Chain A
Amino acid sequence: MRKKEMMAMLLAGGQGSRLGVLTKNKAKPAVSFGGKYRIIDFPMSNCINSGVDTVGVLTQYQPLQLNRHIGTGIPWDLDRRYGGVTILAPHVKEGEEGYWYSGTANAIYQNIHFIDTYNPTYVLIISGDHIYKMNYDAMLDFHKKNGSDATIAVLEVPLEEACRFGIMNADEDDRIYEFEEKPENPKSNLASMGIYIFTWEMLRNALLEAHERHHDTDFGKHVIPMYLEFNKNIYAYRFSGYWKDVGTIESYWKANMDLIQTIPEFNLYEDFAKIYTSSEHQPPQYTGPFADIKVSLVSEGCEVYGAVYNSILGPDVKVAAGTVVRDSIIMEGCVIGENCVIERAIIDENCEIGRDVHIGVGENIPNRLKPHIYDTGITVIGEGSVVPDGVVIGKNAVVHGITECGDYDNMRLESGETLEMTGEV
């Protein structure tokens, strides 16, 4: 039987509900990042850059955009005769009903037969939620060298923040003896990055056994504790590069802004380990005669006639003359009219903003409906929205849908208010 030494299973089914309206119609891994990329491009590119050419992508929540983005895997060289990328959605099995993926390990459990077709020695489990570059092949070497049954990539975090992570307690050889999820009094600062290499034969048995005990098996909650219970060899693989979970509006915005620093900590401009993405068409980017762009990333196909400061523009964004965009993320295909002022906003794909629109004005009042999601002064305009001429929109406000002047109170949407149009967008 043909064999793959290591294949990857990429968990991409999560909603990422703390990203609010950004994940209303698409899964978190499909959210744009850094102008031209989507979050899933980072783990996908890491795979091919590490020589992992067989990747199963597990989808569940709103997968359409993700499916279209991945296609047959051409941008990542994952269009293969043997291997390549396969999208794995929950499905009905013979003689029983279908089940949703009820946990990270359950999703792998439901695809045991898919993994078996490649007969791998090792399986890499990663998620589509994080921004980082990593060589999984080096991690595999570490796994083999230690004779591990499982290897977990860890990041050293400040001890005072350790209570927000899954913490690995390890001996001096980095062999893990204990795992604590969000501990109140952390004993170590080794945080799990959600990246695992398992020796497949043992994991396969563990998944079957764990399924007998729980029907919503999770790697952190069930599989890792089970390995520890049976005294298996689990090692912590220390990673020291840039790694960001972009799970909230604020962390998503900050991680984007990390890219515009003069010397960014996370560098996309290196010649090795490039990040690949699907770009349907890539005309050059034009900067007009009266434009002013500083400290910003501007993607292919943009036409900028106004001013753009400390911002990130996705592909094919048009910024008209007289407009100022500051501290904002404007995603693919947005058109911004003349004489607008846009500050500290995230404008999702294919929005149309009229003329003389002001976004991000007024007091920093948390969103009334979802104060835990929108509370850092960032205004979010959902995918495909239309904002009419002359409207003023406050901080922590949310607009989604095709809006007209009459939808606003006196042409204003105050800070912390939400305007979501029902119906299809």
Chain B
Amino acid sequence: MRAVGIILAGGQNAKLKELTQVRATSAMPIGSSYRAIDFSLSNMANSGISKVAIITQYNSRSLHDHLNSSKWWGFGDKIGGMFVFSPFLTQSGNSWFRGTADSIYQNMAFLKRSNEPYVLIASGDCIYKMDYNTIIEYHMQKNADITVVCKDMKGMDVRNFGVVELDGEGRVVEFEEKPLEAFSDTISLGIYVIRRELLIELLETIIPEGRYDFVRDIVVRYRKKLNIMGFICDGYWASVNSVESYYNINMDFLRSDIRNSLFFQEPYIETKNKDEPPAKYNSNSQVKNSLIGSGSIIDGIVENSVLFRRVRIGEKAIVRDSIIMEGCEIGYGCIIENAILDKDVLLTANQVIRGSGDEPFIVKKNSAL
């Protein structure tokens, strides 16, 4: 085992509005049957990283529910395992995690008790498939202190990301979180490789100084002192960081190239098994260009939409360009366009819900209309 994994899943994101009132960003439902964290968790397992810490904080119940057993991702080994860390109280009081670096620092025992030489840090709210071994190998080959996985966004607006500038050898020479003016098209994907002992040393230096953020206080602050390398990856990558990106990510799965690379090419992305029966199409169903979750029963019209598990679409109901999460029931004759229905929404007959292309209408979890 060359590396242990740390998944930062504590984040809150106000730009997801009502959707993250009830759950952590890493627990956001994605692509009919997954949650965001399944992607980094499966990548860890598929890369042979058998010992993974998941650090949760904000609204962690939803995440703990999803992570109730390590066996769905194959982390049940005696060597290794899946460790879920939440903030806890100690005799000296304290304390919520004050930042990403602090959240690792407060669970230092995990790092100190490991003997793998490297640590791979990833965030739990990004959607991608990656073999982390290639990054660890690059890290070793370049003799890097820290390797930051980067992507060239080719002209997209990157002001919401950590923007990185690399020199000709791939060294990170500039790094700014959410810059007002982007100085390059290259962004950090929030995936890092660092030697375990160096990470311990850095954390023990910065935390007593009152610095708690991994990116700001380690990667950015030490960028000239340490050998920080950028590893450019291509392939699909998206971050769940706004209602718009959440909507677009789900709609991306209506593209067969993205489904093929994420779902049908090995290694697979795994998720918690919910044991739902196959989707059932009744005699008046008309489904076009949509993903349908298992356990769903369709009597109406569904177009260009993503339905999660156990969704019921009543007769003469029309669902277009929408995301319908697990357990929703849409009654007879309802019309739903450009909307996101959170889990277990119940709509009686003939309700109309319309958002716009720019701004999907969000119906909160457990609403009954």
Contact = CB atoms under 8 A, between A and B. Distances in A.
A180 interface: no
A313 B288 contact: no
B275 A288 contact: no
Interface in B316-353: none
Interface stretch (B1-9, B110-118, B188-196, B278-286): B278-286
A22 to B, nearest CB: 19
A57 B130 CA distance: 40
Contacts of A425: none
Interface in B231-277: 253-254, 256, 259, 263-264, 268-271, 273, 275, 277
Contact of B71 (A74, A280, A282, A295): A74
B280 A289 contact: no
A75 B280 contact: no
Give the size category of A's interface with B.
35 or more
Given A269-B297, A300-B294, A286 B279 contact: no
B181 to A, nearest CB: 40
Contacts of B286: 292
A299 B278 contact: yes
Contacts of B269: 283
B50 interface: no
A373 interface: no
B289 A75 contact: no
B300 interface: no
B277 A75 contact: no
B173 interface: no
Interface string A257-290: 0001010000011000011110111111111111
Contact of B287 (A75, A283, A293, A295): A293
Contacts of A299: 278-279, 294
Nearest to B32: A284
A276 B275 contact: yes
B292 interface: yes
A289 B278 contact: no
A288 B291 CA distance: 9
B290 interface: yes
A295 B254 CA distance: 23
A284 B286 CA distance: 18
Nearest to A284: B32
B328 to A, nearest CB: 15
B253 to A, nearest CB: 7
A346 to B, nearest CB: 16
A73 to B, nearest CB: 12
Q: Classify the secondary structure of B's interface with A.
A: loop
B285 A293 contact: yes
A35 B275 CA distance: 13
B273 A285 contact: no
B278 A313 contact: yes
B293 interface: yes
B312 to A, nearest CB: 9
Interface in A49-90: 74-75
B147 interface: no
The residue in A269, A275, A282 that gathers the most chain B C-beta atoms within 10 A of its C-beta is: A282
B26 interface: no
The residue in B264, B270, B297 that gathers the most chain A C-beta atoms within 10 A of its C-beta is: B264
Given A36-B278, A298-B278, A285 B283 contact: no
Interface string B31-57: 111000000000000000000000000
A289 B275 contact: no
B295 interface: yes
Contact of B277 (A36, A262, A281, A292): A36
A144 interface: no
A297 B277 contact: yes
The residue in A260, A286, A288, A292 that gathers the most chain B C-beta atoms within 10 A of its C-beta is: A286
A75 B273 contact: yes
A25 B268 CA distance: 27
Contacts of A294: 281-285
A301 interface: yes
A286 B291 contact: yes
The residue in B263, B278, B284 that gathers the most chain A C-beta atoms within 10 A of its C-beta is: B278
A284 B293 contact: yes
A296 B275 contact: no
A277 B278 CA distance: 12
A195 interface: no
A283 B280 CA distance: 16
B245 to A, nearest CB: 19
A277 B294 CA distance: 13
A262 B278 contact: no
A286 B294 contact: no
B263 A283 contact: yes
A169 to B, nearest CB: 38
A417 interface: no
The residue in B279, B285, B293 that gathers the most chain A C-beta atoms within 10 A of its C-beta is: B279
A290 B270 CA distance: 29
Contacts of A260: 280
B177 to A, nearest CB: 34
Given A284-B291, A285-B294, A289-B289, A274 B283 contact: no
A301 B277 contact: no
A291 interface: yes
A285 B291 contact: yes
Contacts of B268: 280-281, 283
Contacts of B33: 282-284, 300
Contacts of B32: 283-285
B294 A282 contact: yes
Nearest to A276: B275
A71 to B, nearest CB: 11
B289 A287 contact: yes
A77 to B, nearest CB: 10
A327 interface: no
Nearest to B277: A268
The residue in B256, B259, B280, B291 that gathers the most chain A C-beta atoms within 10 A of its C-beta is: B280
Interface string B3-41: 000000000000000000000000000011100000000
A303 interface: yes
A34 interface: yes
Given A35-B278, A277-B275, 13 more contacts: A35-B277, A36-B278, A75-B273, A268-B277, A283-B264, A284-B32, A293-B281, A294-B285, A295-B282, A296-B280, A298-B281, A299-B278, A300-B278
Interface of A: 34-36, 74-75, 260, 262, 268-269, 274-277, 279-301, 303, 308, 312-313
9 contacts: A269-B277, A282-B294, A283-B269, A285-B279, A287-B291, A294-B281, A295-B281, A298-B281, A313-B278
Closest A-B pairs by Cβ, 3 of them? A284-B32, A283-B263, A268-B277
